[in-house]
Chain A
Amino acid sequence: MVESLDLFPLFLSLKVATAATVLAALIGIPIAYYLSRSHGKVADFIDALTTLPVILPPTVLGYYLLVLLGRKSIIGEFLEKTFGITIVFTPFGAVLAAFVVAVPFLIKSARAAFASIDPNLIRAAKVLGRSDINIFFVVIFPLSWRGVASGIMLVFARALGDFGATLMVAGNIPNETLTMPVAIYDALLAGNHRLANVLVIIMTSVSVLLLYMMRRIEKRMVRGDGAHAARKH
């Protein structure tokens, strides 16, 4: 019985969520940092744009991605001709869909963490002779990493669970682009309740574990940094 379980969707989902999380960290953290420092019109616009995926239905997001990155689109054609990468109906598409859906959570959480740092700490560091880069690693990062880490976990959880946008952009090709949430849907439609149950339990366990870890991290964040180990500077 057990051998008949196809766990490909589980591994694909983990890979896709990991890739989307890395992408989100690389792009989301700098944006969050920028938003925490700026309050102009441009910042407001970027803020609105990066919050949009939370509000829009995943199908609408998926549709935009299809239009933007499809094989006939400018970007899609460019990627295919120069790098031989096709986005639509490939695992790349799944990664992009998961990234777009999940990155707002990281931006929000990291931005709040950066913004909660007393600007006088940064001023003090400047007056005491430190460069901006040094200040980021010695002051800003040590004081905000918990917020950023919690955002990264949230992104992973959200990326792991994406259904709508992934289905639109990557489809549900078995052993190719079939991620866990889509596989659950397919399994239910096909009457394979056992597979659906197993996948649902796995998804739930991973999500609960992530939320629990986030809670632990945030709790320490509230308690303050007074007790934690000395940091090199």
Chain B
Amino acid sequence: MLHVNIKKTFPHFLLDVSFTVEKGITAILGPSGSGKSLTLQCLAGLETPDEGIITLNDRPFFDAGQGVNIKPRERKIGYMFQNYALFPHLTVKQNIAFGLKGKPKAEVEEKVEKMLKNMELERYGDRYPAELSGGQQQRVALARALIIEPDVLLLDEPLSAVDPSMKETLEQQLLTFIDKHFSGVVLLVTHNLEEADRLCDRWIIYHNGSVIQLGAKEEILARPVNVPVARMLGYKNIFPVANIRPVDQGVIAVVGDSELFMKATSPSSFDFVAIHYDHLMFVENECVNTFDYDIVQTKTRMNVVEAILETKHFQLQVKVPRKEWSSFGQTKKKIHLPPEHLFFLEK
């Protein structure tokens, strides 16, 4: 278990984050410049927070109050850097053995051989990093991080340097090798939503140096807490709420001139309501939250049609599989916002 609660002030930036993560892969997801990599550097002891604590399984790495600040080399952290940061002047073997300085020669050799085998790099021990493919470089970086038998593994944008055509293969490779050879806490920093979606079940969402939401992926996807998170997750249908009114089994939210019925409890504060485009439904019959619409704009993508619909009161963005788009156009002229999928969020 890794517990982090730190603050660090810069002239134009404040990092103020707090979270606890358990074993398994957790993503730190956020836009560039939101403090993700800085957090990893604080964890590894490469940067010193101004205040706060960092503990790993009750072992303190940093405690400003107690004056504890363990040196990077004593923290035993596996760190895979952006672009891997392999030493270009050292061979694969020398790179992997880098963290074993001071150990008996026989032990080093044995561990390196074993690691080469684990990472399927046996034939490349004497090559230089520049002579390897992207996937091989990634495995060398992972081997170098894991050989010190770390308690935490930090991955900083592990796939940002990868050619798009290779990306999913290397994602899968990374996941497989980590699953096989590491069982502790893994933190993976990324700004890429799809990557976080494919690699991690738990997310920590960063924005401007703070954690704005954390938890299971599905929960965050279904209920982002505020507009920046919702936008990051691809929400397009976000409406400002003028007022709310509790009713039987739910709440009425006043959006512009219309009223939306929501299966939700009255929130203490309300700024917006949102719904994911997956949950919008085209219907024929009049019922609650159903509106006539006109099509304002359509964009045809590879597999989907993205359309902007206009009702009397607001605009909606929908994504519909291409095959279905052509078939419903004639009959279904109403759009339905299911009450159970509408939710409140802060600005």
Contact = CB atoms under 8 A, between A and B. Distances in A.
B109 to A, nearest CB: 14
Nearest to B131: A226
Contact of B101 (A130, A139, A225): A130
Interface in B45-67: 45-46
Contact of B88 (A125, A126, A130, A224): A224
Nearest to B81: A120
A226 B99 contact: no
A123 B85 contact: yes
Contacts of A228: 89
A128 B73 CA distance: 6
Of A118, A128, A233, most B-chain CB atoms within 10 Å:
A128
Interface stretch (B18-26, B90-98, B202-210): B90-98
Nearest to A231: B89
Contacts of A129: 72-73, 99, 101, 148
Nearest to A227: B128
Contacts of B79: 123-124, 127
A143 interface: yes
A161 B141 CA distance: 48
Nearest to A123: B46
B48 to A, nearest CB: 13
Interface in B131-156: 131, 144, 148
A130 B73 contact: yes
Main secondary structure of the interface of A (DSSP, over half): loop
Given A224-B130, A226-B130, A125 B98 contact: yes
Given A121-B87, A225-B89, A127 B77 contact: yes
A230 interface: yes
Contacts of B75: 127
A124 B89 contact: no
A136 to B, nearest CB: 14
A52 to B, nearest CB: 29
B83 interface: yes
B98 A120 contact: no
B249 to A, nearest CB: 55
B88 A143 contact: yes
B88 A233 contact: no
Interface in A130-150: 130-131, 134, 139, 142-143
Contacts of B128: 225-227
Contacts of A225: 88-89, 128, 130
Contact of A230 (B72, B91, B129, B148): B91
A102 B128 CA distance: 37
Contacts of A231: 89-90
A98 to B, nearest CB: 33
Interface in A94-124: 118, 120-121, 123-124
B136 to A, nearest CB: 14
Of A120, A126, A228, most B-chain CB atoms within 10 Å:
A120
A124 B83 CA distance: 12
A128 B98 contact: yes
B44 interface: yes
B289 interface: no
B44 A127 contact: yes
B64 to A, nearest CB: 21
Interface string A207-233: 000000000000000001111101101
A226 B83 contact: no
B315 interface: no
B82 interface: yes
A41 to B, nearest CB: 13
B173 interface: no
B144 A128 contact: yes
A124 B45 CA distance: 11
A230 to B, nearest CB: 6
Contacts of B130: 224-226
A42 to B, nearest CB: 17
Interface in B262-291: none
Of A134, A228, A230, most B-chain CB atoms within 10 Å:
A230
A139 B73 contact: no
Nearest to A230: B91
A110 to B, nearest CB: 18
Q: What 6 A-B pairs have minimum CB-CB distances, sorted nearest first?
A: A128-B99, A129-B73, A120-B85, A226-B130, A120-B81, A225-B89
27 contacts: A120-B82, A120-B85, A121-B85, A123-B44, A123-B46, A123-B85, A124-B79, A124-B85, A124-B98, A126-B46, A126-B73, A127-B46, A127-B75, A127-B77, A127-B79, A128-B144, A128-B148, A129-B99, A130-B73, A130-B98, A131-B73, A134-B101, A142-B89, A225-B128, A226-B130, A230-B91, A233-B98
Interface of B: 41, 44-46, 72-73, 75, 77, 79, 81-83, 85, 87-91, 94, 98-99, 101, 128-131, 144, 148
Given A124-B79, A127-B73, A228-B89, 19 more contacts: A118-B85, A120-B82, A123-B46, A123-B81, A124-B81, A124-B85, A124-B98, A125-B87, A127-B75, A127-B79, A129-B72, A129-B101, A130-B101, A143-B88, A224-B88, A226-B129, A230-B90, A233-B98, A233-B101
